Amino acid sequence: MNGTSSLIQLWQIPSTKLLARSKFSKVVGRYMVPTLCFSKDMQTATYEIVNGSYVPNDPNKLNKVKDKVLATQETVGAFQKLPVVMPSVDILYSALRKAKRVSATKGIPNAAKRERNKGAKQLDTLMKELSVPLRLYKENFPKRKLLHPYERSLVELTLGDGNYEEVLGHVDALRKKVTGVGKEHAALCAKSTSKQEAEERLSEGMKKLEEIFSQEGKAVDNLLNIAKTLRAMPVLDLESPTLCLVGAPNVGKSTLVRILSTGKPEICNYPFTTRGILMGHIAFNYQNFQVTDTPGLLRRHDDDRNNLEKLTLAVLSHLPTAVLYVHDLSGECGTSPSDQFVIYKEIKERFSNHLWLDVVSKCDLLQESPVVYITDNSDAHDLELTRYRKVGPDGAIHVSVNSEAGLNELKARVHGLLLSQSARIKSQEINLETVQLIR
C-alpha cells in the first residue's frame, strides 16, 4: 500500500482521535458530518425551557437550523457577491442633485405653504438618497459568522481583527445620524410660518446633512476599500481538486507553482516574497485542477506567527487541499534543515488527513552539502533528523528547477495526487447525499 492509498483509507474511517480534535472537526466538518449528525440524530431529542417547563424542540426547526449552518460553512465565493460600494462623494453629489430637483406639490396657492412643502420634500429626499445605499450595504455585506471558515479567516487576517465589523458599524452609525438629522430638519421646515423661514430651514438642513456626510463619509470609502480587497481574494472552487504548496520561506514554493501550473507568483531570493494566497491552474486528463501558493512557515509557536503564516494555516485548516510540502536542504533558504524538520513534523501531524507529497527542492545545490555521519549513540529522533538532512522525508522527490532534474517525476506524482483528491471529493459528495437521503 503506498502513502496515498493508506491516507485515503485513514480518511474514510475517521479515527476517534481526529473527531475529538475540536478544531479539526470544524476543519473537515463537511466530511465528518455524515458520521456525526447521523449518530446525534439517533441519540437525543433536545429541549428548551418555556414557562419553566421543558418543551421538546421541533425537529424540523432544528434540521432547518442545521441545514443553514451547513449551508453557510460549505460555500465559498461570498466576496464575489459583495455589493458595489459607491465613493462617498458620488453618493453625496448624486443625492444633492436629486433633492434639488424636487419641487412642491402642485396646486398649493399659498407661497409660504408651497415653500415649506418643497423644503420638507427636498430634505426628505436628500435624507433617503443618503441613507438608503448605506442600509443596503449594511444588509448585503455578510455577517462574518455566516461566512465559510476560510473566508472568515481571510477577513480577519487581511483586514485585521474586528476591522470589518467596525467599518460596517461606522457606516450604520452614519446612516442613523443622517436619518435622524434629515427627519428633524424636514419637520422643522414643515413647521415654518413664512416663505423666508422655510427657505432658511431648507438651506440649514441641506448644509447640515452635507456637512455630516462630508465629515463621516470616510466610513463608506473604507467599506469600498474593504470590498475591493475582499473581491481581489483568489476564488477557490471547493469541488475542484486543489494542491497547496507549503514549506518554510524561500524554499522554492513559488518556483514550483510556476513550473506546475498557470500561476505566475513572484520569485525572489528572500523570505516572505509570497504575501498572500495565490492561485494557478493545471489542466490535465480533461479536468481542471487548482494550485495555491502560500506564504512560508517559520519554526515558532502559533501565537507568534504573523498573519501571512496564519493565512497558510487557514488554507490547510479550512480547505480540502492536497499538500505538496517543499523542503530546501541546501542551506540557501535561511531556515536550517533542522528547523524545517521541526516545522514539517508539526504540520504533517496537524494536517495528517490531507493527501500529501514531499519534494526536496534545489537539488542542484545539494552535491556541495556536507556529508552527515550517523553516530552509534544516536537515538531514533537523531537518526530521523540526520536522514532528513541528507535526503528529506521518506519518499520525497528530489527536484531542481535549474537542472530540471526530477521535474517529470514530480509532475506525474502531482497528477496522481490530484486524481486521488478528485476521487476523495466525489466519494465525500456521495456520503453527503446518502446522509441527506437517510434524514
Ligand X SMILES: Nc1nc2c(ncn2[C@@H]2O[C@H](COP(=O)(O)OP(=O)(O)OP(=O)(O)O)[C@@H](O)[C@H]2O)c(=O)[nH]1
Q: Quick one: which of 254, 340, 400, 428 contacts Mg ion (CB under 5 A)?
A: 254
Q: Give 362's Cβ-side CA count (13 Å radius).
A: 19
Q: Is 406 in the site for ligand X (CB under 6 A)?
A: no
Q: Is 131 in the site for ligand X (CB under 6 A)?
A: no
For residue 296, the minimal CB distance to ligand X (Å) is 3
Positions of E strands within 133-284:
242-247, 278-284
Q: Hey, what amino acid is at 153? A: S
Q: Which three cell numbers stand for residue 177?
A: 445620524
Q: Which is nearer to ligand X, 200 or 364 (CB)?
A: 364
Q: Site for Mg ion (CB under 5 A): which residue of 4, 179, 273, 307?
A: 273
Compose the 213-252 pattern: x for residues touching Mg ion by CB under 5 A, - for all others. Answer: ----------------------------------------
271 is an interface residue for ligand X by CB under 6 A? yes
Q: Does 272 bind ligand X (CB under 6 A)?
A: yes
Rounded Cα–Cα distance for residues 165 and 143 (Å): 8
Least distance to Mg ion, CB of residue 266, Å: 7
Q: Which three cell numbers stand for residue 280?
A: 494557478
Binding residue (CB under 5 A) for Mg ion from 88, 117, 131, 274: 274
SS3 (DSSP) at 70: helix
Contact between 425 and 417 (Cβ < 8 Å): no
339 binds ligand X (CB under 6 A): no
294 is a contact residue toward Mg ion (CB under 5 A): no
Structural Rg of the chain based on CA atoms: 30
Among ligand X, Mg ion, none, partner that 361 touches (CB below 5 to 8 angstroms by kind): ligand X
**Residue 241 binds which of ligand X, Mg ion, none (CB < 5-8 A, kind-dependent):** none
- Which positions ≥6 away from 28 have C-beta within 8 Å? 14, 18, 320, 353
Residue 407 touching ligand X (CB under 6 A):
no
Which are the contacts of 360, defined by CB distance < 8 A and separation ≥ 6? 327, 328, 329, 366, 391, 392, 396, 397, 398, 399
Interface pick for ligand X out of 30, 114, 253, 398 (rule CB under 6 A): 253
Residues that bind ligand X (CB under 6 A): 249-255, 267-269, 271-274, 295-296, 361-362, 364-365, 400-402
